[in-house]
A and B are shown apart, each in its own frame.
Chain A
Amino acid sequence: GIPVRTTLDNSTTVQYAALLQQLIMKARSTVRDIDPQNDLTFLRIRSKKREIMVAPDKDYLLVVVQNPCE
């Protein structure tokens, strides 16, 4: 995907955009393969250091990166 607005630095933004675009497509096709009437509404990836949340749409993707409190 092409980044339109960002609060991170350029290189990180471009990296996130490219990688998450592919992941969203894969996640969406997984959901629809299991149940064709279903569709992806939200994706959350939790990792050791932070949590990545993606809200998908027909034309846009919103990506939020959060440091969870523990």
Chain B
Amino acid sequence: AAMFTDSSAPGADVEPLWRSARSARCQARSCQTRNISTVETAAQSHTSRDASVQTEQSKDALYDFQQEVQVDYAGLLAFLQRVEDTVIKELKKNWESRAFDGFAVNWTDQNETVLCLHTLSYPAAQDQNLQVTSVSWNATGSVVACSYGRLDDGDWSTEKSYICTWNLDRRGLNPKHPDLVVDVPSSVMCLAFHPSQPSLVAGGLFSGELVVWDTSRTEDPVILRTGMTDDTHTDPVYQVNWLPDAKHRNQTRLLSASTDGKILVWREERDGRLVLAEGFALVAQQIPRSSWLKKVACGEAAVGVTSLSFSHFDPRVFMVGVEGGYSLQCCTAAVTPALHRTGSSVPLRAPAELAFSPHGGPVYSVSCSPFHRQVLGTDPGAAPRAQNLFLSCGTDGEVHLHSMLQTQPLVSLQLSKKYLFCVRWSPVRPLVFAAASGEVHLFDLARSAQKPAVSMKQAAGEHPVYCLEFNTKQTQLLAAGDATGAIKVWQLSSDFTEQRPREVTHLEQLASESMD
């Protein structure tokens, strides 16, 4: 029989693993890289040599591009013979084609009206009853500067005046608060921005001095001045221009014209002074005589210059408008010495070459056309004569369109009974010009040679507009400054900003039919 007995089984033991596992996994180890060996050394070059490289001027620069290519003339001839017929056929078709008559494409939105974009003024100057004597756009076309002064004062004035600039492209433009105001101890009569450096502006003062300001400097904007020396003008400076310097390509010189008959060219010296480089003097005796000039005072009377304009095509030729009412064509390359009484450090020359028929009163503004007109000489061997057109206006209320080849005006327009203070050609349309009297008149010779296309009333009452400038970079803008001390920036309609297809030839036709 099976017997149940007591027994006890030994218990089962489970070894804890975690301790041994832990101890099994932990081991202390260390390692070390081998020694990194470092060595200190120094290097220095102790000999040097100078070598320079220069390219040599190629002898015939003109024909360079033709000599580079190895032309296979036989192949070229074969090509030309192949295409000759096609090209001649196309040329003939073009000449006779009527397909594109009256076809015009609008690339930009047409703007139909002329409107006043901004009216800018400086209240402190207006409180002193100062008038805007001159406006100028800067090289980039975004800043307009104006000079305050008085144009109707006959006496010597020692009033302080201002130069104000506004940046029209800036957001938050405040028309009554100019971006920059410069105090000037005397009235500023004329202003001109530098043609390529956007912050330099030159002005001519009532005292006869010239000053150049740098509008980017905040402490003292004056960088150059002529000071009062024996060379400075003895009368107010009515026109100041920047001239490219023929010898030093990156320097420019300043030209100033004043009613004391002198036209002076200044260059800058290191200590901030402007020193006379060359000069011209207009003396009544040296004006080329014509029949109507016999009544002019003879002798060494100075001929007062009120305005000046350079020809766009020959940088030595400039037109001058004088108080006597006529315009003169002058050349900077003149050599005859002037019969000027007072001594000056640089000998003055007489520049006048041709006198044009006069207005009934002093000429206040001349402007040379930026569009070229070339008339070929009738002889086969003669060089083409470049003929420039220019406008002049004066106190008789007339605008004369002159050609530099003849003394009588081509077209003479009686604009108004009032004085005309400024006339300017449009920089984009060869047949358009603007004239300023009580209103701003825009003339389009394509539409009518007698009446203005548009007349814009600038200021209420009898306050005339004294100065006008077209903006050459943003061609739809025209700035006009008036006697109330405000500048209006007008936006012109697209009629005035886009050149028509045959405008230049129209201009030539207009000039030639008046000549014959």
Contact = CB atoms under 8 A, between A and B. Distances in A.
B21 interface: no
Interface in A20-70: 41-42, 44, 46, 48-49, 51, 53, 55, 57, 59-60, 62, 64, 66, 68-70
Contacts of A66: 91, 94-95
B156 interface: no
Interface stretch (B67-75, B127-135, B330-338, B441-449): B67-75
Interface stretch (B3-11, B81-89, B168-176, B183-191): B81-89
A14 B61 CA distance: 14
Interface residues of A, number: 24
A59 B69 contact: no
B90 A3 contact: no
B18 interface: no
Contacts of A62: 79-80, 83, 87
Nearest to A1: B69
Given A2-B68, A48-B501, A59-B75, A42 B91 contact: no
A49 B501 contact: yes
Interface string B371-384: 00000000000000
A10 interface: yes
Contact of A55 (B62, B75, B86): B86
Contacts of B90: 42, 44, 53
A4 interface: yes
Nearest to A48: B501
Contacts of B80: 62
Contacts of B71: 4
A60 B72 CA distance: 11
Contacts of B292: none
Contacts of A57: 79, 82-83
A7 B75 CA distance: 20
B513 interface: no
B101 interface: yes
Given A2-B69, A3-B65, A48-B501, A53 B91 contact: yes
A49 B506 CA distance: 13
B254 to A, nearest CB: 30
B333 to A, nearest CB: 25
A3 B65 CA distance: 7
A42 B62 contact: no
A51 B101 CA distance: 14
A47 to B, nearest CB: 9
Nearest to A4: B71
Contact of A2 (B65, B79, B100, B499): B65
B87 A53 contact: yes
Given A2-B68, A14-B65, A46-B100, A60 B91 contact: no
B76 interface: yes
Contacts of B95: 66, 68-69
Contacts of A5: 66
B62 A59 contact: no
B502 A70 contact: yes
B501 A64 contact: no
Nearest to A54: B87
Nearest to A59: B75
Interface string B46-77: 00000000000000001001101101100110
Nearest to B104: A48
Interface in B127-176: none
Contacts of B97: 68
Contacts of A60: 75-76, 79
Interface of B: 62, 65-66, 68-69, 71-72, 75-76, 79-80, 82-83, 86-87, 90-91, 94-95, 97, 100-101, 104, 499, 501-502
The 4 closest A-B pairs by CB, nearest first: A55-B83, A60-B79, A48-B501, A2-B69
20 contacts: A3-B66, A4-B71, A4-B76, A10-B62, A10-B65, A14-B65, A41-B86, A42-B86, A42-B90, A46-B100, A48-B501, A53-B94, A55-B83, A57-B83, A59-B79, A60-B79, A64-B87, A68-B94, A70-B100, A70-B101
